[in-house]
Structure 1
Amino acid sequence: MNPTATAGAAAARAAAAAASLVPAPVPLTAVPAAEAPPADAPAVVAPVVGQRGGEVVVVLGPAVVQALAEGAVAGASLDPAEALRPALAAAAAELGDGVLGAARSATAGDAVAGDAHVFALQGDGATLAWCAVRVRAEEPAPRAAVPTQRGAHLRVLYDVEMTLTAELGRTKLPLKQVLDLTPGAVLELDRTAGSPADIVVNGRLIARGEVVVVDEDYGVRVTEIVAGSDPA
């Protein structure tokens, strides 16, 4: 399908979802706008962050401003950014797996960009508000690399589990000293403090790294890959 047509369809769904939640004296429906909203009309704009993100703008007509004022008298919020967040969130949900960012107040002239899809939110035949949706094109999925013949053969081994060990150092002790070990005994290893730990897989040295703490668990940050090492 044409990417422009796909973006337009997503914008139409987003505007329809927003229309159902914009405070107004009558139910609203979204239709393509015949003309842009007044440049000085108050608006609320919020970014949508995701694979197909963009921006959603709701422009308030006088009737919606009045509805918000009446809501404030009844104890609801008069802040347009807060009052319109459910409508913005519903529109963002129609753009795919995205996250709605912080909403801010603006004017239609500043918030409605030239590449936005603009819809009139109408009730009883009159336009009471507008919804503008900018849809960022989906990024094409990266092409998978064609595996070499060797890589294809190795693929059957990808799920084979191997034992990985981080080794801080070694020492040799007579059997008598091993049998005499008690809690609190200190063993001197064959490397100095601060030296990298060996990372060993099935007895073969493959890398070296430094010991770190991750969420109260020990880990090893790889600092060097060892190629062609002899078995440890």
Structure 2
Amino acid sequence: MPAFNETSAVLHSTALYTSAAQALAAMLPTATSLSAVLHTGPRQDWVASAAGAVLCATFVGEQSADVVLHVAERELGGISERRTARVGTEDLLRPALEAATGVLGIGVLSLESGENAQGTLSAADTVGFMLRTQSGEDAGFFALRLRETAPVSGPAPSLEEPEDMASRLGRISNVEMALTVQIGRTRLSVRDVLNLEPGAVIELDRSAGAPADVLLNGRLIAQGEVVVMDQDYGVRITKILDMDSAGA
């Protein structure tokens, strides 16, 4: 597996990668704080020597990327002993992955099987970081591979005829997208999640009667009122948000 160095085919300056790694390190749920240090040696032994889960994720948005994260079990401390089917390693580490990919802009993060780690780590344009304790011990690794949008070749685009636009819209009109209605949110500690029992009431951050959010592939696009339709829930759209408001 190639090592990262200054001649590797990276697509951006290391500043962007470093910002993502630092954001991730700040959100890791470890007993002691970890720092992200740019890795300049061979990476072939990372996955083989990793004791515990290796998480892979893809981020699709303004800037798409592949991500690999491993945190040593010992660094998770007491949290690892309390993991159950309700709260797994993925749940504990997802906020850190979201913080890292949040540096890349708006998008959707999806966790994948750790089997995909080797492909990302072996790519020449992947930039890696060692996660280290304050005493300098290795405590895991973080790798980020940015995926550029393919450049458009040929002459600059011109205004299209209505027929051309209609034919393009026709090709995508049957593509399905995930639409979600959200009535509120809250944050709970791992302790509170593990203590949940049937009958428990979770208070949300929205008052009764406030409009619900309508999200398309995780992005806010509208607001509406929750209604009941033939014993099923529905939502009556009351406001369509423009792109600037939705991204705010």
Normalising by structure 1, report the TM-score.
Answer: 0.51
Distance 1:117 1:138, change over 3 A: same
Q: Render the CA deviation track for 1:35-91: whole Å, top value 9, x for unaligned.
A: 432424231011011232011111122423545414439x982x2222111111111
Could you say which residue in structure 1 is the equivalent of 2:129?
Answer: 119
**Number of equivalenced pairs:** 144
Structure 2 CA distance, aligned partners of 1:111 and 1:39?
14
Q: Render the CA deviation track for 1:108-145: whole Å, top value 9, x for unaligned.
A: 54653333211011121222111010111244478644
Distance 1:22 1:76, change over 3 A: farther
Could you say which residue in structure 1 is the equivalent of 2:92?
Answer: 83
Q: Render the CA deviation track for 1:149-173: whole Å, top value 9, x for unaligned.
A: xx9xxxxxxxxxxxxxxxxxxxxxx
Q: How much has 1:103 moved relative to structure 2?
A: 4.0
Pick the aligned partner of 2:69 from 29, 39, 58. 58
Could you say which residue in structure 1 is the equivalent of 2:148?
Answer: 137
State the AA in 1 paired with 2:93. L
Q: Which ranges in structure 2 are unaligned for 5 or more consecutive residues?
A: 1-8, 162-248
Could you say which residue in structure 2 is the equivalent of 1:19?
Answer: 25
Could you say which residue in structure 2 is the equivalent of 1:92?
Answer: 101
Structure 2 CA distance, aligned partners of 1:108 and 1:61?
16
Bigger Rg, which one: 1
User: Contact 1:13–1:94 (CA<8 Å) still a contact in 2?
Assistant: yes
User: Contact 1:14–1:94 (CA<8 Å) still a contact in 2?
Assistant: yes
Normalising by structure 2, report the TM-score.
Answer: 0.48
The worse-fitting range, judged by mean Cα deviation, of 63-72 and 53-62 is 63-72
Could you say which residue in structure 1 is the equivalent of 2:54?
Answer: 43
Identity score, percent: 26
CA RMSD of aligned residues (A): 3.2
